Amino acid sequence: MLYLRGSCILLHRSLLRRRFNELVTLYQKSSFRVPVDAENVTPDAFAGKSVNEIKSLHLWEGNHRRALSDLFKVDCEEGVCGEDVNIQIVGDLTKVKRLGARMSRGRIVVEGSVGMRLGEEMSGGDITVTGNAGSWAGMMMKGGKIEVAGNVGDYIGASYRGSTVGMKSGAIIVRGDAGNEVGCFMNGGFIRIGGNVEQFMGMHMRNGGILVEGDAGDRVGAEMMGGRIVVLGKVSTILPSFIVDEIRPNVRVGDERVSGPFYVFKGDVTESWNGSLYVAIGKNLHLKVYESKIA
């Protein structure tokens, strides 16, 4: 598989070198049977360290404490990393969680798929995943950018269980599909989903923007208090606690202006009138009945 990806790896190497001085590449030594906590795999943790110090950073494989070099082959052309570090990881990381947690700078590129809690509480830098990502990607994110070429799981940009503070800033870009509760308790930032999403997107949302290019599951915007949701595909039903307000030719969400026309709904009225749901008319002819309710 590494030979098939060789050209892609070389491309990422050249891009990373052009942007930063040091590149550390990690090659997975063998398949993981239990979850691996990669909290220490960040540009922040690698900055200013020698190769041996990086190899000695600890990870948790299940309930066993491991050195980074026990699980990954470490390739670094420089003897000591500076303050600007990029990390490239090659392998199947679907059992690896908390990669990029609390990172504030630099770049991580995953050549493959990765597990849950990618980039949790990150405040800066970029994470790129060429495969899929698990649930809770960008959880409580404060800045930076996460980009996933494949699909993601549930609770993207959401909060911890029991918390009411989700993503505050930054951007999450997903080329594929997403699961349930995208942007739950979202309080800022921007999420773009290139495919479809499941139920309860934008639940408890307070600020920020979500753009979905595909279809959305039921209960979009449930109990949202603010922010903006834009759906270009089909929305099967609109919650009865949303009131149709107008028809708009286009909408701005995040830094993007998207052409419509759109039905504009305000709600959730059980919480406030400050949330906005934009639904593309062309894919939702079954919602035409709402036009008679527009003043």
Average pLDDT score, the chain:
91
Share of the chain above pLDDT 90, in %: 83
Cis, bond preceding 261 (omega within 30 deg of 0): yes
Question: How far apart are the C-alpha atoms of 263 and 100, rounded to whole Å?
Answer: 38
What's the whole-model pTM score? 0.91
Range from 83-87, 127-131, 189-193 carrying the lowest mean pLDDT: 83-87
**pLDDT confidence band for 22 (50 / 70 / 90):** confident
Q: Assess whether pLDDT exceeds 60 at residue 64.
A: yes
Largest CA distance in the chain: 70
Q: Tokens 């915007």 appear where?
A: 221
What local confidence, expressed as pLDDT, does residue 9 receive? 40
Q: Assess whether pLDDT exceeds 60 at residue 8.
A: no
Q: Assess whether pLDDT exceeds 70 at residue 163.
A: yes
What local confidence, expressed as pLDDT, does residue 4 receive? 34
Q: Assess whether pLDDT exceeds 60 at residue 10.
A: no
Q: Assess whether pLDDT exceeds 90 at residue 170.
A: yes
CA distances (Å), 211 to each of 48, 174, 204, 272, 280, in order?
39, 10, 16, 21, 11
Helix, coil or strand: residue 9: helix
Q: Assess whether pLDDT exceeds 50 at residue 102.
A: yes
Cβ–Cβ under 8 Å, residues 235 and 216: yes
